Chains A and B, each alone.
Chain A
Amino acid sequence: MSSRAVVTGLGVVAPTGLGLADYWAATLAGRGAIGRVTRFDPSPYASRLAGEIHGFEAGEHLPGRLLPQTDRMTRLALVGADWAFADAGVVPSELPDYDVGVITASHSGGFEFGQNELRALWSKGGQYVSAYQSFAWFYAVNSGQISIRGGLRGPSSVVVSDQAGGLDAVAQARRQIRKGTSMVISGAVDASICPWGWVAQLTSGRLTTSDDPERAYLPFDDRASGHVPGEGGALLVLENAEHALERGAPQVYGEIAGHASTVDPRPGSDRAPTLQRAVELALADAGLAPDDIDVVFADAAAVPDLDRAEAEAITKVFGVRAVPVTAPKTMTGRLYSGAAPLDLAAAFLSMRDGVIPPTTGSTLSPDYDIDLVTGAPRPHAVRAALVLARGQGGFNSAMVVRSAHH
């Protein structure tokens, strides 16, 4: 069999939409989901906006016995995985044993579950800690629960590289496809919108303190003041291309064509940052030239130094305003490891529909020589896209996807 890894199913759980269709409709309409935090009272904190998912009733999608043992992000991930398999037209448990793996990324595990059990421990005592704490909070939980729910016995893994992990997981899934596994569900969902998670995120120093949902998360804008955190992400069904063909998959969204990741030198080093190299290596891995890329989905930190570094890396590889750049994550907030899988979904839908979703809210700073898609969606043929994700600590990950009909 060929070792090409294609994507045949997408499951989206995003603040802007539950399910692929709702998410994409909202994204093209520019309907953002940033608002004041409702999950707890954010008034004591310096940052008060988030991209929350509203209207998700886990009990409508999952058996009741799963609820006491799962954090919110695991429930969202389980539903996202169900939807991805349904979209791909497969019942994974009906495939041969060991044929389907699960490889997810995590950022902070089931942090809210952990918060509640830490509170029980310290306010009441160890005997009040849940019997599910041993696994419900840890970083591997989504892979484990998705595996059990779907009967998936193939290769599993979990990677943590902050926001870059969302791409690193998909890259690891592609490795397993290349090594002979027929199908791997991959991607990530994160959700840590709880007081404990909020305080931990605040110490990153990268959250905006703006209270205006329309002007809070403004990457590549002179007013950039940090990001708004969000929750959610996407699960993708990766599949061996021939396997997809043989079983008559309902659609092939495209191919995972290239990937590379790097980590920046320590702060204060005289060595150069490494995002540009990650992009160049990912292009080389895909066998594509910069001219072949029709759109870049940016990491879009909205921290001025980080925006500059990303804009410069894009300009050095592609030239001045030579490729459309977008960051629809302005509508959802940064989803940590869930962000890049959601961007991959957006990239595939851009290919399908010939349209690039906008970076809402932002007005491009004259300091950056990039062609930022702002305002309205831009009609544009997309055959290949580059998705970028960076994580605190210097992680850079770049993934090239392309149409299956190249």
Chain B
Amino acid sequence: MGGAHGRRVVITGVGVTAPGGHGTKGFWKLLTDGRTATRRISFFDPSPFRSQVAAEVDFDPELSGLTPQEIRRMDRAAQFAVVTAREAVADSGLEFAALAPHRTGVTIGSAVGATMGLDQEYRTVSDGGRLELVDQAYAVPHLYNYMVPSSFATEVAWAVGAEGPSTVVSTGCTSGLDAVGYAADVIREGSADVMIAGAADAPISPITVACFDAIKATTPRNDDPQHASRPFDNSRNGFVLGEGSAVFVLEELESARRRGARIYAEVAGFATRSNAFHMTGLRPDGKEMAEAIRVALDEARLAPQDIDYINAHGSGTKQNDRHETAAFKRSLGDHAYRTPVSSIKSMVGHSLGAIGSIEVAASVLAMAHDVVPPTANLHNPDPECDLDYVPLTAREWKTDAVLSVGSGFGGFQSAIVLASPDRAGAR
């Protein structure tokens, strides 16, 4: 993406709030243990719904460092974003006081914003759906911040003291990749030196469960929640809703090196393309995702054979897993068969806009540890999904360059290439 003469962007801090483990460490342990965090929904009684399982985060906002007023004014997803951003900044070793506010920006991805708060508030102001003319007297005072999810970016900016370019990126289920790609471009063009970039979603709410029930996108495997998310398995029958956040500190490479920062990876290439086909449907050929991958590799100046690991979208719907398997073959050729591919959605579910960033976190941790996470619950692969999906058990694997992809409602297809800066720099 910047090329030899341009500014290069690296990840120097990681924060994760994901189901099944506390912080980045708990997240990585869950993944490498191959455990799943999917369970019967506990936030509300799911029994009226077709799909009753989800991957929930055990999250205590007060123990996570939020003040009572922060908790009051923020929807759960915004709380995730702020807590996770603080972990990322702490991990980066950057001193808050040392950040130049006007050279620091924020990009937070979210597919459905404060949907949990909106669902609860609507129920109240409409008195259980009885009132068409809903009653403001029963609304939380911060309802406007739920309505417009750019409040997430504001909250993160306030938390870290950023005053540079700040926005929310909301491209459905590719939001978490697109937010990182967007932030990298902002640094590259010189509009900021540091970007706090990532994503958050907390969609486990009756309206979200109902809307995916209506199109049978989520799994009805309610009798076996722990094994409900089965990407690439022949028995897969839909995704499992999740929630969470991952946030990164992105920095310009040279300034990161000057301060002796730990560099997880370079954001070496990124692209998004649309299928212009259907709001929820995918054509089996994977053509547009393959194009996004091709462009991202090109920007990274890497060849297909340079990719050591593919972090798949792997949602566990029938159409998705075939679609992206086709896209990997189309873009990487024979190398697709030699490359480990895995879906962490098998363990942490599909947190819509957040998951892209959570998968970037898994990707850079794979690089840091030279271990690739497995695809849990994969016992009988779909014959049409014939790549190496790292079934059940994490694998020690030299990992210097990772491709991570996402596919979202609206037809969005995104690909990001993360690479060791030395490797990418040697190109």
Chain A residues with CB under 8 Å of chain B are 40-41, 44-46, 69, 98, 101-102, 106-109, 111, 114-115, 117-127, 129-131, 133-135, 138-141, 143-145, 147-148, 150-162, 164-165, 168, 172, 175, 192, 195-197, 199-204, 260-266, 271, 274, 277, 281, 391-395
Chain B residues with Cβ under 8 A from A154's Cβ?
A: 273-274
C-alpha gap A98/B149 in the complex (Å): 29
Q: B195-218 toward A: CB 8 Å interface, digit per residue (1/0)?
A: 000000000001101111111010
CB pair A144 B143 closer than 8 Å: no
Instruction: Provide the B123-151 mask, 1 if CB < 8 A to any CB of A, else 0.
Output: 10110111011111001111111111111
Q: A129 vs B123: C-alpha distance in the bound complex, in angstroms?
A: 14
Instruction: List chain A residues, Cβ under 8 A from B178.
Output: 157
Q: Are A153 and B167 in contact (CB under 8 A)?
A: no
* A351–B112 alpha-carbon span in the complex (Å): 39
The reply to whether B134 and A159 form a contact with Cβ atoms under 8 Å apart is no
Cα A126 to Cα B210 in complex, Å, equals: 5
| CB <8 Å contact, B171 and A158 | yes
Whether B168 contacts A161 by the Cβ 8 Å rule is yes
Report yes or no: B128 in contact with A123, Cβ–Cβ below 8 A. yes
Known A-B contacts A148-B279, A157-B272, A200-B143; A266 and B210 likewise in contact (beta carbons under 8 Å): no
A-chain residues with CB within 8 Å of residue B291 when the two chains form the complex: 98, 153
Report whether A143 and B171 are in contact in the complex, using a CB–CB cutoff of 8 Å: yes
Kindly identify which residue among A46, A134, A156 contacts B272, using a CB–CB cutoff of 8 Å. Answer: A156
> Using Cβ atoms and an 8 Å threshold, which residues of chain A touch B125?
196, 199
Would you call B285 an interface residue if the criterion is a C-beta within 8 Å of the partner chain's C-beta atoms? no
Q: B211 contacts which chain A residues (CB < 8 A)?
A: 117, 129-130, 133-134
Q: Does B158 contact A (CB under 8 A)?
A: yes
Determine if A175 and B133 form an interchain contact, defined as CB atoms under 8 angstroms apart: no
- Determine if B132 and A195 form an interchain contact, defined as CB atoms under 8 angstroms apart: yes
B197 smallest CB distance to A (angstroms): 13
Please list the 3 inter-chain residue pairs (A to B) with the smallest Cβ-Cβ separation, ordered nearest first. A144-B410, A123-B129, A122-B129
Question: B residues within 8 A CB of A394?
Answer: 154, 157
Contact A114 B118 (CB under 8 A): yes
Residues of chain B contacted by A118 (CB below 8 angstroms): 118-119, 122-123, 126, 129, 207
A residues in contact with B146, CB < 8 Å: 200
Assembled-state Cα–Cα distance A164/B168 (Å): 11
Q: Which of A140, A162, A281 contacts B150, CB < 8 Å?
A: A162
Contact of A138 among B101, B111, B185, B411 (CB under 8 A): B111
Whether, in the assembled complex, B91 has its beta carbon less than 8 Å from a beta carbon of chain A, the answer is: no
Contact status B215-A140, CB under 8 Å: no
Selected A-B contacts with CB under 8 Å, 5 pairs? A139-B113, A140-B408, A157-B272, A196-B122, A199-B143
Q: Is the pair A144, B411 in contact by a Cβ cutoff of 8 Å?
A: yes
Complex Cα spacing A393 to B414, Å: 29
Q: Which of chain B's residues have a CB closer than 8 A to the CB of A164?
A: 167
| Cβ contacts B70-109/A at 8 Å (1 or 0 each) | 0000000000000000000000000000000110011000
Residues of A close to B264: CB separation below 8 A:
none
**Interface of chain B, helix or strand or loop or mixed?**
mixed
A127 to B141, CA, bound (A): 31
Q: A121-B210, A159-B169, A200-B147 are in contact. List 14 more A-B contacts (CB 8 A).
A: A46-B136, A101-B274, A118-B122, A121-B206, A126-B209, A134-B212, A139-B170, A141-B279, A158-B170, A160-B150, A199-B143, A260-B191, A277-B102, A392-B151
Q: Count contacts on B: residues with CB < 8 A to the other chain.
A: 85
B182 is an interface residue with CB less than 8 A from chain A: yes
Decide: A200 and B144 in contact? CB cutoff 8 A: yes
Q: Whole-angstrom distance from the CB of A165 to the nearest CB of chain B?
A: 7
- Complex alpha-carbon distance, A123 and B127, angstroms: 9
Contact: A203 with B165, CB < 8 Å? no
Asked if B136 and A202 sit within 8 Å, CB to CB, the answer is yes
A121 cross-chain contacts in B, Cβ below 8 A: 129, 206-207, 210
Measured between beta carbons, the chain A residues less than 8 angstroms from B149 are 139, 160
Whether B176 sits at the interface, judged by CB under 8 Å, is no
| Residues of chain B lying within 8 A (CB to CB) of residue A262 | 102, 163-166
**Residue of A40, A140, A157, A203 most packed against chain B (CB within 10 A):** A140
> How far, in whole Å, are A393 and B209 apart by their CA atoms in the complex?
30
User: Is B235 engaged at the interface, CB distance under 8 Å to the other chain?
Assistant: no
Please tell me which one of the listed residues A138, A157, A200, A274 contacts residue B163 in the complex, with CB atoms under 8 A apart. A274
CA distance A145 to B410 in the complex (A): 7
Chain A residues with CB under 8 A of B55:
none
- Contact between B278 and A148, CB atoms less than 8 A apart: yes
CA distance A291 to B313 in the complex (A): 51
Q: How long is the Cα–Cα vector from A153 to B148 in the complex, in angstroms? A: 27
Q: Which of B271-316 contact A (CB under 8 A)?
A: 271-280, 288, 291
Q: How far, in angstroms, from A155 to B174 measured CA to CA in the complex?
A: 12
Chain A CB within 8 A of B409 CB:
yes
- Chain A CB within 8 A of B384 CB: no
Which among B145, B153, B210 has the greatest number of chain A C-beta atoms within 10 A? B210
A residues within 8 A CB of B275? 153
Q: Chain B residues near A159: list those with CB within 8 A.
A: 167-170, 182
Chain B residue contacts of A130, Cβ below 8 A: 211, 214
B328 at the interface (CB under 8 A from A): no
Q: How far is the CA of A133 from the CA of B279 in the complex (A)?
A: 11
Q: Give Cα A45–Cα B132 distance, bound, in whole angstroms.
A: 13
> Chain A residue with minimal CB distance to B141?
A203
Task: Check if A263 sits within 8 Å of B122, measured CB to CB.
Answer: no
Residue among B49, B122, B157, B210 making CB contact with A115, cutoff 8 Å: B122
In the complex, A164 Cα to B105 Cα: how many Å?
15
Contact B273 A98 (CB under 8 A): yes
Chain A nearest CB: distance from B33 CB in Å? Answer: 32
In the complex, what residue of chain A is closest to B217 when comparing beta carbons?
Answer: A134
Q: Is the CB of A122 within 8 A of B276?
A: no
Residue numbers in B under 8 Å from A147 (CB-CB): 274, 276, 410-411
- Which of B119, B165, B212 touches A261 (beta carbons < 8 Å)? B165
Tell me, yes or no, whether B417 is within 8 Å of chain A by CB.
no
A153 contacts B182, C-beta separation under 8 Å: no
